[in-house]
Structure 1
Amino acid sequence: MSSKASSAPSPLRLNGFVFFSSALSIGVLGLLTVLNPQASEHWLQVAQAQVSAAFGWWYMLLIVACLGFVLWLAFSRYGSIRLGHNEESPAFAYVPWVSMLFSAGIGIALLYYGAYEPLDHFLTPPGQQGGTVAASREAMVLTFLHWGLHGWALYALVGVALGYFAYRRSLPLALRSALYPIFGERIHGRIGDMVDGFGILATLVSMVTNLGIGALVVQSGLTYLFKMPDTPQTLVVIVLVMMVVATIGVVAGVEKGIAWLSNLNVRLLCLLLLFVLVTGPTLHLLDGLVQNTGDYLASFVRKSFDIYLNQPDGRDWLGSWTLFYWAWWIAWAPFVGLFVARISRGRTIREVILGVLLIPLGFTLAWLSIFGNTAIDLVLNHGQAVLGEVAKADAAMTLFKLLEYLPWAPYVAGAAVLIGFVLFLTPVDSGTLMIANLCTRRVDGGVEDGHDAPIWLRVFWAVVITVVSIGLLLAGNFGAMQTAVVLCGLPFSFTLAFYMVGLLRALRTDPDAPHRH
């Protein structure tokens, strides 16, 4: 995929139904939550509780089914099928491809939750007493569960399905295309428009949530460093600056903007992780990484199906954490999966699945183990209960309070703010680009590599995300949009089930699929 190809005139036209329905939906949702913050948050929370109670079993089974399906697919005879022509070389070299895989799926949430989530599970675990050695082991198992193989399997499924139908079956690179074996030509009508439109809405809500988390992390860092006022107005300024820079990246496109930022992300994150490992209790952290990995693998099957039956407190915890995470992964799957497909042309199904499952996963679990065990060690073994109190009161401040116990705290905290700023940019860039692409339709109905939506459309969606985020932050109702993410995950969960069926049907009829021996 060359820059030259990307600069050619784009054979695209606006899909009016998808564009206007998506813009109207996010506008109405944003307006209602801004004008009626308390009522909207109440009803969204009620809806989330109802969804968790009624569909908790479905989420748990679907996530396990997706993981099992992609693992089987990777090692099956279909794993050698290339997303493209048989002799086609990969669109991106290995290192940029790995960097973009890494950055698109991780995002600012890793900084936000890295120390906070293990501490929260340690202090208030489901079904047992908090603050104990047993609770510390359980805390890391639960954190690994939420960030582990299950979620990455969704990205691998969507990426492979969309890439297969776009690059081998010459369908548009759109969410609708993976449903072709089930609905046939009807995907080019309203059925397909509704799938793409809802994928856009889920992505928009996810982007707004991501922007809010990013702004909270950066604001906490600036408050910690410079005693900046912790006010909504400060948040608005941070949001505006972040989105201006993000919009520049969106306009620059995949080759120039997003690939460069992805490489920078990887380097900065690795440096921060190594700093905490070396200056913290190094041997304790290495021991913890080994133990956490073993505990995660040992409890993998049990935790995958654990819905805390006959444990009311555990059920409440499940809805607030595990089911929230599963729905959040599902809501992010449309845009991350589309982006994976966008950068994976020319690679085999096996390469894409194993790349998505293992490359970001190894770093993510190492990050959570090192930051989580550092935080738990301070509270459990060194009497620093204040760190736990900070985690309960202000999740975004947990990271900066943790760094206070390590050398050169102000300088490292400043570096963490910069990392948070850069880490926020790549998912927003890739998400905005994918939203804009979903709002267009190829003039010839096919797929032509290297062409993205026009710049005005990318800028439009960047502005929409910014305006909705500012409105929610000013209204003090950011939590409502986080709840909306969970609700958006439910309809798309059924689409994922169709994806598995459709992809299997298509692979069985692929003329280049290796025959059984």
Structure 2
Amino acid sequence: MKKVSKTVFSVSLIIALLFILWGTLAPENAAEVTGNIQTLIQNKFGWFYLLSATGLLVFVISLIFTKLGNIKLGQDDEEPEYSYITWFAMLFSAGMGIGLVFWGVAEPLSHFNNPPIGDPATREAAKDAMQYSLFHWGLHPWAIYTVIALALAYFKFRKQAPGVISATFYPILGDHVKGPIGKTIDILAVFATIFGVATSLGLGAAQIAGGFSFLVEGIENNFQTQLIIIAIVTVLFMASAWSGLNKGIKYLSNINVLLAVALMLFLMFSGPTKFIMDFFTTTLGNYVQELPRMSLNLNPFESSNQAEWTQTWTIFYWAWWISWAPFVGTFIARVSRGRTIREFVLGVLAVPTLFSALWFSVLGGSGLHNEMFGSAGIVETMNSQGAEIALFKLLESVPMGTVLSMIAILLISTFFITSADSATFVLGMQTTNGSLNPSQSVKLTWGVIQAASAAVLLWTGGLKGLQMASIIAAFPFTFVLIGMAFSLFKSLKEEQPKIKPQTVASESE
């Protein structure tokens, strides 16, 4: 098996280095080629992303209502390693921290200004804007994460398989997982992880630079500033990675959640509280009611603008979540040992979705309220300076705005660190045959590769370049995810007759 891990590490590293070299020496050519590939995938296979994401959601929800939900991710007598609070903080920080801060204000206002259906800047546009924001950040992404995390945790902790993606295919591939097929699966996982995480790191760098440029005269939000930020934060997250999972990531994850909740609560109670909570409740109801329609809607009979909106937003998000899946799934699996499948699925699906709904209602709702009933000018600022400025423009209009903006920059930075820190650990696992303690040199290598990839993507295409990378990296890995779901279900069905009646009874009590 050492040979397998060496092959996966070497091939993955060569691919990543070639991409970095290509983007550095020929940025225009790299942007053109990746842009053409992205357009082809979005136009020809958008339906595939929608069907795949929705199918995975249906699959994981169905596990809750069967006896299979009683199976533990570990041996029957094992208890969870982390408390609920720490568990939620770690999976949430790894899952979508930077993205929520980046898009919390920007996405609802983008949809408000350019809705998928109807006229912009209307009350109907505001309602749809929040509904679609929750759709993009709710059950679907966490279902994608759940599939890969569930498969990895089940095969690693219950079946004692190596903690790599290919090992989860043993029920359907047998010993072929040790050969070229297994290697290819693991390389695809590493490829998706590098560019999925690089997308988020690029967003984080752009928003930190945007925040400093908004607050400090003389600092410009350009590539040079973003590159300096990436370099500084890379040193910080490598120091965190060096300290280990139970120190760096654990403590930073708790700090992330505390900062995020503090910022959210301040905005909630210093702003239009009743409007925000009414919006939160209404959005949840609309989301549940419209979920089936939104999940499978590609607007084939509508105008080209509406179809383009779905391609630009929904297809991009589904691809982004899929490219993040090997990273987030591996990390969630690592911290979820000892929980039952039912407990795991409910926790991973419900808690982050509810928090995302509240987060968008507070930040996005505050932004929409200011645009509709005030004179914040957030949309105008976004159009002229970029989406990364939206949060800071909102904070400018509330009490202690400068202090809150500095806290927001700190929050983005800590999310940056935990995401990159977690990813170095995951990439280390995936390229050392599933080792739960990859060597520092391996983690250092992948940390540098991630930072360099984020810099190259910003250099070659900015925000659009980041989106392109996610869509391209996600496409081949979508097939891997579907295969994992089939393999997991096959293994669970084989174990079903062995589930002890008293285990079911004790769970129901």
TM-score between the two structures when normalised by the length of structure 2: 0.94
- Which piece of structure 1 moves more, 374-383 or 469-478? 469-478
Q: Report the Cα offset of residue 476 of structure 1.
A: 5.6
Deviations 1:209-245 (A, max 9, x none): 1211111111111112212233322222211111111
Which one-letter code corresponds to 2:387 in the other structure? A
Contact 2:4 2:178 in 1 (8 A): no
Match of 2:274 among 267, 283, 297: 283
1:512 corresponds in structure 2 to 498
- Which piece of structure 1 moves more, 367-376 or 503-512? 503-512
Match of 2:358 among 342, 366, 376: 366
1:65-84 map, 5 Å = 65-84=55-74
From the two aligned structures, give the one with the greater helix fraction. 2
Three-state SS of the structure 2 residue aligned to 1:67 is helix
1:261 corresponds in structure 2 to 252
Q: Report the Cα offset of residue 12 of structure 1.
A: 7.5
Q: Report the Cα offset of residue 17 of structure 1.
A: 1.2
1:3 corresponds in structure 2 to none
Contact 1:15 1:441 in 2 (8 A): yes
1:470 corresponds in structure 2 to 455
Contact 2:146 2:329 in 1 (8 A): yes
Contact 1:81 1:512 in 2 (8 A): no
Aligned Cα RMSD in Å?
1.9
1:246 corresponds in structure 2 to 237
Which one-letter code corresponds to 1:490 in the other structure? F
1:438-453 map, 5 Å = 438-441=430-433, 451-453=436-438
Three-state SS of the structure 2 residue aligned to 1:15 is helix
Cα distance in 2 between the residues matched to 1:288 and 1:85:
44
1:114 matched to 2:91? The reply is: no
Q: Report the Cα offset of residue 145 of structure 1.
A: 0.7
Cα distance in 1 between the residues matched to 2:222 and 2:73:
48
1:299 corresponds in structure 2 to 290
1:503 matched to 2:488? The reply is: yes
1:188 matched to 2:173? The reply is: no
Q: Report the Cα offset of residue 188 of structure 1.
A: 1.4
Cα distance in 2 between the residues matched to 1:488 and 1:473:
16
Q: Report the Cα offset of residue 479 of structure 1.
A: 3.0
Contact 1:214 1:424 in 2 (8 A): yes
1:195-206 map, 5 Å = 195-206=185-196
Three-state SS of the structure 1 residue aligned to 2:317 is helix
Cα distance in 1 between the residues matched to 2:252 and 2:4:
28
Match of 1:314 among 306, 316, 319: 306
Provide closer, same or farther for how the CA distance between residues 12 and 183 of structure 1 changes in structure 2, counting only shifts above 3 A: closer
- Which piece of structure 1 moves more, 12-21 or 431-440? 12-21
Contact 2:153 2:334 in 1 (8 A): yes
Contact 1:335 1:435 in 2 (8 A): yes
Cα distance in 2 between the residues matched to 1:26 and 1:415:
34
Which one-letter code corresponds to 1:173 in the other structure? G
Contact 2:5 2:432 in 1 (8 A): yes
Three-state SS of the structure 2 residue aligned to 1:114 is helix
Three-state SS of the structure 1 residue aligned to 2:478 is helix
Q: Report the Cα offset of residue 514 of structure 1.
A: 5.1
Cα distance in 2 between the residues matched to 1:45 and 1:12:
37
Q: Report the Cα offset of residue 348 of structure 1.
A: 0.7
Deviations 1:311-350 (A, max 9, x none): 2211111111001001111111111111111111111111
Cα distance in 1 between the residues matched to 2:241 and 2:471:
26
Q: Report the Cα offset of residue 392 of structure 1.
A: 2.6
1:493 matched to 2:478? The reply is: yes
Three-state SS of the structure 1 residue aligned to 2:244 is helix
1:348 matched to 2:340? The reply is: yes
Structure 1 residue ranges (4+ consecutive) displaced by more than 6 angstroms after TM superposition: 11-14
Three-state SS of the structure 1 residue aligned to 2:51 is helix
1:34-53 map, 5 Å = 34-53=24-43
Which one-letter code corresponds to 2:65 in the other structure? F
Match of 2:429 among 437, 443, 447: 437
Which one-letter code corresponds to 1:88 in the other structure? E
Which one-letter code corresponds to 2:99 in the other structure? A
1:64 corresponds in structure 2 to 54
TM-score between the two structures when normalised by the length of structure 1: 0.93
1:455 corresponds in structure 2 to 440
Q: Report the Cα offset of residue 75 of structure 1.
A: 2.0
Contact 2:81 2:337 in 1 (8 A): yes
Cα distance in 2 between the residues matched to 1:377 and 1:292:
15
Structure 1 stretches lacking a partner, 5+ long: 1-10
Cα distance in 2 between the residues matched to 1:341 and 1:269:
24
Provide closer, same or farther for how the CA distance between residues 136 and 174 of structure 1 changes in structure 2, counting only shifts above 3 A: same
Cα distance in 2 between the residues matched to 1:493 and 1:14:
22
- Which piece of structure 1 moves more, 308-317 or 28-37? 28-37
Contact 1:202 1:331 in 2 (8 A): yes
Which one-letter code corresponds to 1:313 in the other structure? N
2:467 corresponds in structure 1 to 482
1:8 corresponds in structure 2 to none
Three-state SS of the structure 1 residue aligned to 2:433 is strand
